[in-house]
Amino acid sequence: MVWRYALRRLAIAVPQLFGLLTATFFIVHLLPGDPARLIAGPLASAATIGEIRHRLGLDKPFFQQYLDYVKGLFTHLDLGPSSYTHEAVSSDLLQRFPATFELITLALLGIIVLSLTVGVVSVVFPTSRLGRALRPLAFVYSLVAGALPDFWIGLMLIYAFFFVLHILPAPAGQIDLTLLPPHPITGAQFVDGLLTANPDVIISGFLHLVLPVVTLAIVYGGPIFKVVVGSMTDVWGAEYLRFARACGLPPRTLIRYAVRSALPPVITLSATMYAFLLAGAVLVETVFAWGGVGQYAVQSIVNSDYFAIQGVVLLTGTFTLVVYLLVDLLQLWVDPRIQY
Amino acid sequence: MSEPVLTLKVIRTVFQSDDGPVPIVDNVSFALFPGEMFGIVGESGVGKTTLALSLLNLIRPPARVTGEVWYRGTELLSQPDHVWRRFLGDEISFIPSSGKAALNPVFTVGQQLIDMIRAHRPAGDREAYQTSVEMLSRVGLSDPDRRMRSYPHELSGGMAQRVAIAIALVNRPRVVIADEPTGGLDVTIQAQILDLMKELNTTLDYSTILISRDLGIIANYCARVGVMFRGRVIELGPLTQVYARPGHPYTEALLEAFSLRRERVLRSRQATSVALVEPPPHGCPYEPRCPYSTSRCVEEDPGPNALGPDQWARCHYAGRFRLAPDHG
Amino acid sequence: MGPESRLHQILRTLGRLFRRRPAGAIGLCAVTIIAIVAIIGVWIVPYGPTDANPAAQLEPPGPSHWFGTDVSGMDVFSRVVAAARNDLAIGVAATLLALAIGTPLGIVSGYVRGWHSELISRGADILQAFPIFILAMALVALLGQKITNVILVIAFLTSPIYLRLMRGQTYALRQTPFVEAGIVVGNAPRRIISRYIFPMAIPPALTQVSVNVGIAILLTAGLSFVGAGVRVPTPEWGSMISIGAPEMITGQWWVATFPGLAIVVTVLSFSLLGRAIEFLTDPRQR
């Protein structure tokens, strides 16, 4: 039964992906503005513009362009050339995506771990010193979390920890500028440092990761935090927890029972937040000069890099779709009550 | 009479309300003997469930339980939580009113049974599994191996209740507190569950405190009964005696409501709802509702008056209230 | 003794709001203050918001410049106050426009069965698959960096929220016996929608509006920060933060901090206002 649902879900994903491709194409192509002119620049002659237009295939009929686009995508994953980096957009994205992925994944993990910890301590041990200290903090955070601009928080943290306290490095990339970058295996320099056992890169990479990950976690942690605490509160007072206590089950089993049954709504929300984090990465990467897809997105827009913009939009939309799919499947495993 | 296995002395459970502390359980004392099924009967809100929770260390601050609970030489109420955890689930168990609500929805039946076993003694995987399967079979579930892998939402109400009973009994407790174990189930299933409980009570040799609102259930399964009103036990004795000759007017009113007495002798029909009228400050709490009350009842709170070697009732005219002169 | 005057009624409701939802009341006050500042602020600030004074560049907060000055010597305080007008205007306009787009589409999609409503709904789903900010950047860049485009883009991208909401509400309300009775009696669909469905479906959307103004402001600030929104030197909190960003590393914290605080306070106030609206539009509290 599970498999049937999974297959059905995967089957739906295909037309969804197609819809996404088409939507991206339409959005980017139906807007006013001449991409060839944007690429050529304000001083170009009409001939140059025409040449560029021909080279990029922008003078072909609309539907032909669409077919070329789809064909290029499926045959060699071709997203067109970047007018700024002069590389293929697909290789640009491939190079930069791991760094972004590293950032948002660590941020999400951080949010979940921290929220669960705070949730368990404040609900299960409300009278402990830590529990009592956390309550007002949790209240304030719940209130304020949605109102924080990520780029601003990043800047504030930089000021506090780099300028004032001198304990974290300047926001200039993934590792220290004076260090030789590690051999690129994944593209995320900290991970590459781990994989090539390069201690300088590992330490530098770690230190450089702290602030951007913390920024993302603080700014985007609100919804998950609220759901975790709310879910834990509900579950801790539930009838089955009371029965478990009447059965003399030890505290760690009770906590295990509570956390496991509080998890399902958190998982669904994490999917949504993962997608949000990808959007949030744009600004944070810009502030910290991270060199990932986010910064590339900004760069391509500022430089009117037509195909790059299209590529970024497609990549982020696809990522979201894949995440939602995976989480739907994960939900089946985590919550046995789901009917299919 | 053999030694009691559980003795309650002056149990008082006080909750904090907007108007000050309120005793939900007020001065309850009784003894539970080995192998018996002792019934506690009373209407909703009278404190039966709170009494059960008080005996299971489930009353949390700011509510407090005072008094003594003696179990095999140990006084339990003064013990810290970790000592309670040794007794609960192992020697003193709880059967809840709804099996479905009591089971964790994201774990299988088997996982919860095994957790119960392992919480109280070390057991290998095979041993724990075997014991669980046997218990499920004992409580009348067919295909117990399949049940081990089932989730609570896949079970019917009756099946879930059997699972809850299995969990409660798997560690062979000596005392089982069953709080309305058949609420919400169909009548025929109710009978099956209660028959099962009676049978296990005998074969596994433990004592049960059966709490219910239904005098019929108590009548069919219990040898002794305690009647609760407003947080107190107002009558206690062997079931047949109490039902045949109630020592307290409230017992009489209850029996009449359940049509378990052939004669209807109450001169006025008064609602026996518990909460509405405040009783006189020093008098009998049942006085406002009692058709036989006298001025003595208004002024003096009756203590337990014996009606026989093993029956008593908290009434100045225990057993003979119909003969009391009434003053308006 | 005549019926209670309107003013009296309003005061009484406000009193109840203060007692039952203090957070909402704070939000209401805060938003009112911010709105006043936004409207009249420009005329009462000590310096012109775009008056550059290179001699006074990067001065820390002090008696003559309460929030200090930025790299061009412009007074940060005056600019923060002046930006309130722009940010608020964009936020409110975008949100109201999103409401205007999403609500009718949502209602129609929830009311009428058939492939049109499915299509609209699927379209909204696909739109929501893209992280809003990236799409917003792309669209503003492609359309051109003008305030009107920022408003349009944000409105377009946030309209699915209302579409979804109204669709759900309409669909649920349509099944109620109360509405079915209206249909059976023979009322035209337009009448049913306007008399029965709309008044009951709209309150949750109004609560959402308040929160969305905050979201729109955050989006605007973000867009301007990366240079894909409002152009410098128009005072706008996000672009002010981008001007102040390099200064954070060299220690002149005031240039970027104060605009950021303004954003936090404003967005928070609108979020709290949402609670007030929720309370006030709840028919049960009458």
ipTM: 0.87
Interface probe for C, chosen from A26, A301, A320, A322 (most Cβ of C below 10 Å), is A301
CB B69 within 8 A of CB B117: no
* C-chain residue closest to A172, CA distance: C249
DSSP state for residue B88 in the 8-state scheme: B
pLDDT in the model for residue B276:
59
* Distance between CA atoms of residues C54 and C34, nearest Å: 30
pLDDT, residue B328, reads 36
DSSP C216-284: HHHHHHHHHHHTSSSPTTS--HHHHHHHHHHHHHHT-THHHHHHHHHHHHHHHHHHHHHHHHHHHT-GG
In the block, which residue shows the tokens 């030489």?
Answer: B73
Q: Does B58 sit within 8 Å of A239, measured CB to CB?
A: no
Interface of C with A in 119-148 (CB under 8 A): 122, 126-127, 129-135, 137-139, 141-144
> Residues of C with CB below 8 A from A163's CB?
248-251, 253
- pLDDT at residue number B32: 93
- pLDDT tens across A209-237, in order? 999 999 999 999 999 999 999 999 999 98
A316 — pLDDT class (breaks 50, 70, 90): confident
* pLDDT score recorded for residue C130: 77
Phi, psi of C235 (to 5 degrees): -65, 120
pLDDT at position C90: 94
Cα–Cα distance measured from residue A24 to residue A320, given in angstroms and rounded to the nearest whole number: 14
* Spatial contact of C147 and C230, defined as CB atoms under 8 Å apart: yes
CB-CB contact of A173 with A182 (8 Å): no
Length of chain C: 286
pLDDT at A258 over 60: yes
What's the order of all strands across the beta sheet hosting B175-179?
Answer: B92-95, B175-179, B207-212, B37-41, B224-229, B232-238, B311-313, B305-308
For chain A, say whether C173 makes contact (Cβ under 8 Å).
Answer: no
Under 8 Å CB pairs connecting chains A and B tally to 74
Task: Find residue B178's DSSP bridge partners.
Answer: B95, B210
Is the CA virtual torsion B146, B151, B154, B158 positive or negative?
positive
pLDDT of residue C263 exceeding 60: yes
- Return the bridge partners of B11, or none: B28
Q: Please give the mean pLDDT across all residues of chain C.
A: 85
Q: Quote the CA–CA distance of C247 and C245 in Å, as a whole number.
A: 5
Tokens coding A118:
């705070």
- DSSP designation for A183: P
Is residue B114 within 8 A of residue B128, CB to CB? The reply is yes
Query: Helices C198-226 and A251-288 sit at what angle, rounded to 10 degrees?
Result: 50
**Rounded Cα gap, residues A6 and B328, in angstroms:** 76
pLDDT of residue B110: 94
Instruction: State residue B1's pLDDT score.
Output: 55
Backbone phi and psi for residue C227, each to the nearest 5 degrees, phi listed first:
90, 15
Q: Select, from the ranges A2-16, C88-102, C133-147, the one with the highest average predicted confidence (pLDDT).
A: C88-102
Q: What are phi and psi of B24, to 5 degrees?
A: -80, -35
As beta bridge partners, residue B94 has B177
Q: Percent helix, strand and coil across chain B, each rounded to 5?
A: 35, 25, 40
Three-state secondary structure call for residue B24: strand
Decide if A298 and C221 are in contact by the 8 Å CB cutoff: no
Chain B residues interacting with chain A (CB cutoff of 8 angstroms): 56-58, 84-90, 93-94, 96, 98, 101-107, 115-116, 119-120, 151, 153, 164, 167-168
- Let me know: does A308 contact A84? Beta carbons within 8 Å: yes
Grouping H, G, I as helix, E, B as strand and the rest as coil, residue C148 is helix
Alpha-carbon distance of B322 to C39, in angstroms, equals 84
Which one of A141, A155, A157, A290 would you mutate to disrupt binding with C, by most C Cβ within 10 Å of its Cβ?
Answer: A155
DSSP code of residue B44:
T
Contact C19, C44 (CB under 8 A): no
**Residue B6 dihedral angles phi and psi, to the nearest 5°:** -140, 130
Residue labelled with tokens 């239904």: B214
The arrangement of secondary structure in C63-173+203-281, i.e. its CATH architecture, is Orthogonal Bundle (1.10)
The confidence score (pLDDT) of residue B88 equals 94
3-state SS, residue A33: coil
Residue A33 is predicted with a pLDDT of: 63
Q: Between these two residues, C125 and B14, which has the higher pLDDT value?
A: B14
pLDDT for A25-68, tens place per residue? 877 776 666 667 766 667 778 888 788 777 777 777 778 878 87
Between chains, do B106 and A246 touch, taking CB under 8 Å as contact? no
The reply to whether residue A249 touches residue B86, judged by beta carbons under 8 angstroms, is: no
Supply B164's token pair.
């809850």
Query: Taking Cα atoms as reference points, which of A314, A73, A187 lies closest to residue C131?
Result: A314
pLDDT per position as a tens digit, A73-110: 777 777 777 777 878 888 889 889 999 999 999 999 99
Residues composing chain B: 328
* Strand B92-95 versus strand B305-308 pairing type: unpaired
Query: What does the DSSP 8-state code read for residue A158?
Result: I
In the beta sheet, which residues pair with residue B17? B20
**One-letter amino acid identity for C183?**
I
The answer for residues whose C-beta is within 8 angstroms of residue A17's C-beta and 6 or more apart is: A318, A321
Tokens describing residue B68: 């003594």
Distance CA(C50)–CA(C65), nearest Å, equals 14
Q: What is the pLDDT of residues A106-115, one digit of tens each?
A: 999 999 999 9
Neighbours of chain A (3+ CB pairs under 8 A): B, C
CA of A260 vs chain B CAs: smallest distance (Å): 7
Tokens 């759901």 — which residue? A227
- Measured distance between the N- and C-terminal CA atoms of chain A, rounded to whole angstroms: 7
Angle among Cα B205, B209, B215 to the nearest 5 degrees reads 120
Q: For residue C107, give both structure tokens.
A: 């209602």
Q: Do the two chains A and C touch, given a threshold of 8 Å on CB pairs and at least 3 pairs? A: yes
pLDDT of res. B268 = 45
Helical packing angle, C132-143 and C147-175, nearest 10°: 130
Answer with the residue of higher pLDDT: C184 or A236.
A236
Strand ranges in A68-179 using DSSP code E only, listed in sequence order: none
State the Cα–Cα distance between residues B57 and B207, nearest whole angstrom. Answer: 19
**B271-278 contacts: CB < 8 A, separation 24 or more?**
B272/B43, B273/B43, B274/B43, B274/B44, B274/B45, B274/B46, B274/B229, B274/B230, B275/B45
Give B235 to chain A, closest Cα distance, Å: 28
Q: Compute the distance between CA of residue B286 and CA of residue B280 in angstroms, rounded to an integer.
A: 9
For residue C233, cis peptide bond before it (omega within 30 degrees of 0)? yes
- H or E segment to which residue A339 belongs: none
Contact in structure between A315 and C131 (CB atoms under 8 Å): no
Q: Is A334 on the interface with B (CB under 8 A)?
A: yes
Query: What's B277's DSSP letter?
Result: S
Whole-number Å distance between alpha carbons of A62 and C236: 38
- Which candidate from A152, A170, A282 shows the least CB-CB separation from C134? A282
State how far the Cα of C170 lies from the Cα of C111, in Å rounded to an integer: 6
**What residues of C are in contact with residue A289 (Cβ under 8 Å)?**
none
Residues facing residue C75 across a β-bridge: C69
Partner-chain residue, chosen from A239, A249, A336, that has the shortest CB–CB distance to B102? A239
Q: Which residues of chain B have pLDDT under 50?
A: 265-269, 271-274, 327-328
Which residue's entry shows tokens 């399964």?
Answer: B221
A313·C244 Cβ contact <8 A:
no
The domain spans of chain C are: 63-173+203-281
Q: Which of B105, B119, B164 sits opposite A248 (nearest CB)?
A: B119
Percentage with pLDDT > 70 across chain A? 95
Q: What is the pLDDT of residue A177?
A: 78
Sequence-distant (6+) residues with CB within 8 A of C118 are: none
- Nearest to A84, CA basis, from A300, A309, A310, A311: A300
Using a CB-CB distance cutoff of 8 angstroms, which residues of chain A are in contact with residue C138? 27-28, 297, 301, 309, 312-313
What secondary structure does DSSP assign to B162-207, as a single string? HHHHHHHHTT--SEEEEESTTTTS-HHHHHHHHHHHHHHHHHTT-E
Token digits for C111? Answer: 């009311």
